[in-house]
Each structure stands twice: as C-alpha cells, then as structure tokens.
Structure 1
Amino acid sequence: MSKSFGMQAGSGNLVLVGEVTKPHGLRGEVCVRLYADSPSFFDLVDVVHLRPAAEAPAPDPVPAGRGRRPARPQPPRMRRVRIVSWREHKGMVLLVFEGAQDRSAAEALRGSEILVRETELPDLSDDEVYIHQIEGLAVRLEGGEPLGVVREVLTPAGQEIWAIETPDGREVLFPVAEQFVLAVDLEAGFVEIAPPPGLLDLYLSDDA
C-alpha cells in the first residue's frame, strides 16, 4: 500500500500543515498543533502562509480627527512568512516567525492556520502520498465494485481512518492498514480496498 502522510486540504492549492494555539514565553515563540507527521517537516519547508483566525474579533474604529469618520482598520489577511526557528519542548512544537519575535506579536497569531503551497511540499518516495491527496478519490472494492468516495481522512489517536461516503449518502469508517489497502492510484483517481470482515455489514446493512 502507499503510506499517507499527515496534512489536510486547505483552500485552492494551499495545504494546511498546522495551527497556532497560543504564545509561549516572551521571545515570540508560538505553540503549534501540527498536522504533519513530524516537526522535522520544518527542516524542509521554511516559508509558509499564515491565515488569521476566521473568528478573530474586528478591531475598534480608530478616531481620525475632527470632521472625519473614524477609520476602521482592515482585518489582517493571509501572508507569506519565513520560519526563523523551530524546536520541540515538553511534547509541544514551538515556532518563531519572522517579524513576530516578541510576546505581543506572538499573541496576535493565536488561532492562525499555517499553510504551504502544494507545489512546495517536500517530495515523497514512490510508495507514499499526502493525506490531502487521498480525499476525494473514488473507492473500489477488490474486483472493481464501486463503494463510494473518500470524503475525509481522520486521524484520531494517530490511527488513520477514511470516512467513505456511499452513493446513497451512508458513511463507512474504514481503518487504514497495509493488509486492507490494495492500491492507491492518484493518476486514475481511485483507491482499492479489502475491508476487514463484517465492516461493510456494520455500516451498510438495513439495520445499520
């Protein structure tokens, strides 16, 4: 089977690789929830896009002087930024971004998404794929019978699970393991699987 590496589909040709959760210390470090398999990913990618938290409150209008309407600052937009450094600390991944090297600047990044252009992702070996490449692929059973489409890839507790949507709208949660995945063909747009015994009955029987 092809091994899949973490990271989720973003918008356009951007791939979500992490999220800033909170500042750490006084020197601009931020804690990151990482969607890549390993923080060493940042040894290979040192320029990313930061997308501010969607739910960030709008700033208050700034007085613009007598006889003028208050000027309302524009909300921050996604920007391209260089990673100055990264390290692991007590199970956390800490990053420092260029231009945000003190506590207040780090606080402003809380909730921001970290994205990388798909064309800038590190190359994988022939038997590896990124998780975002799996989403949207057609799913076939052994022998070619269609089952549905991979709607989403889940990774609870480190276990990769494909949420497969069938043509009639049902959901099959398929646990990914080498013995169950027969083929992954990105060019042809499909995966072929041999689900463990009883799995399809669990989700697709009339009593399910």
Structure 2
Amino acid sequence: MGDNKLIALGKITSVFGIKGWVKVYSYTEPMNQILDYPEWILQLNGRRLVVRLNAGKVHGKGLIAHIKDCDDRDEALKYQGAEIYVVAEQLPELEDGDFYWHELEGLKVVTLNGTNLGVVDHMMSAGTANDVLVVRGNDSAIDHEERLIPYLMDEVVKNVDLTNGEILVDWQPDY
C-alpha cells in the first residue's frame, strides 16, 4: 500500500445473521457501488487489514456483505465498527468536469473578485438538493468564518483547478 492515498467508502456497522455477514453503511453514490470493490482495506482500532469480498447485496434500506473466510457471527464481530477504504487509484476515472469529494478537500476557495474565503474542509450531501462545500477561513483568508457554499457547477462554482489547488466561486463573503 505504501504512500497510496486511501479513500473512505463506508463503514461496517454490525453483524447480520449467523453466517458471517456484516451490515455496511456506504458513503458511495449509489450506495451499492461500494460492492464493486472486491478488496477492502479495513481500519479498526489503529490497525489495517486487507479483506476480500465473497458477496454483497442490498438488504432492506441498507447493504450486507460477506467477507471471504468469515463464516460465523463471532468472526464477523471482529469487523464491527471498521472503516472501509480503498486505494484512490482503484476509483474509476470520472468524466471531465466531475470530481471526487476527496479531490476538492483542501483546495483554496476564491471569489470572482479575488477574495480568499479559505479552504474546503469537507463536503456535505444535502440529500435531494445539491452538495455543499464547507469552507473554513484561515490566516490567509478574509476571515476565519465557516461558509456553506452550494456546489452548483457553472452557477456558483465557476472553475475547479486541481493543478493550482483552487476553486473559483461566484459568492459574496457576506452571504
């Protein structure tokens, strides 16, 4: 694994049944996309473990998965609470103009008139509406305020420049 960047895709929340299945909370969109990765890197209590999936499926409103060689409830309990990661290079290529959330985190956010609003701390999903950039001010920004900026390409977000680490927004600091 070395220096490869790990991307969190979800979490194992609990066990399911008696045959080693686990319940999975997915951060992916759509949620069952997490099952497309046959190998997960689990992180639990400061330890990392690579596991392979045997099977996975939608169950009710959530997901369940079966990890290879995990064939009973006691074994599955060992994975409860583990964060699920994959190496960033495993993520599929996106079309031009589309970005993964982890690519936007840490980018500087600048208004059309050049005002530095801070950096993207993280992203939030607003449910059915658009996603939201959570921007935190810092010493080089106009202030130390936290701003929630709708991630609306072309309308609010005018340009994302990964090379220069900057997002250009049509947004006023006092919104």
- Using structure 2 for the length normalisation, give the TM-score: 0.85
Query: For residues 126-182 of structure 1, what are the alpha-carbon distances to aligned partners after superposition, in whole Å with 9 as ceiling and x for unaligned?
Result: 221110110000111124432211112122536522111122321111122232111
Match of 1:92 in 2: 62
Residue among 97, 103, 110 paired with 1:127: 97
The structural deviation recorded for 1:41 is 2.2
Q: For the structure 1 residues 125 and 193, does the alpha-carbon distance in structure 2 shift closer, same or farther, using more than 3 Å as the test? A: same
Q: Which residue of 2 aligns with 1:106?
A: 76
SS in 2 for 1:15: strand
For these two proteins, the number of residue pairs brought into alignment is 167
Tell me which residue corresponds to 1:146. 116
**Structure 2 residue ranges without an equivalent (≥5):** none
TM-score normalised by structure 1 residue count: 0.73
**Which 5+ residue runs of structure 1 have no aligned equivalent?**
1-10, 55-76, 203-208
Q: Which amino acid aligns with 1:169?
A: H
- Amino acid across the alignment from 1:50: L
- Equivalent-residue separation in structure 2 for 1:78 and 1:90 (angstroms): 29
Deviates more, 1:157-166 or 1:81-90: 157-166
* Secondary structure, aligned partner of 2:76: helix
Residue 12 of structure 2 is aligned with which of 20, 23, 33? 20
Q: Deviations over 1:87-131 (max 9, x none)?
A: 001110111111222211111211001000111222222221110
Q: In 2, distance between residues paired with 1:81 and 1:172?
A: 39
Deviation track 1:35-71 (CA, whole Å, cap 9, x = no partner) reads 11123424542111011145xxxxxxxxxxxxxxxxx
Distance in 1 between residues matched to 2:166 and 2:158, nearest whole Å: 11
Residue equivalent to 2:161: 185
Q: Where is the strand percentage greater, Structure 1 or Structure 2?
A: 2
- CA drift of 1:201 comes to 1.9
Structure 1 partner of 2:174: 201
Aligned mates of 2:51, 2:158 — CA distance in 1: 40
CA distance in 2 between partners of 1:17 and 1:186 (Å): 22
Look at both structures and tell me which one has the larger radius of gyration over its CA atoms.
1
Matched residues in 2 for 1:174 and 1:15: separation?
23
- Work out which structure has the larger RCO, using CA pairs closer than 8 Å and 6 or more positions apart in sequence: 1
For 2:108 and 2:66, locate their aligned partners in 1 and report how far apart those are by CA, in whole Å.
39
Identity %: 27
1:162 aligns with 2:137: no
Please state whether the residue corresponding to 1:132 is helix, strand or coil: helix
Question: How far apart in 2 are the matches of 1:109 and 1:136?
Answer: 30
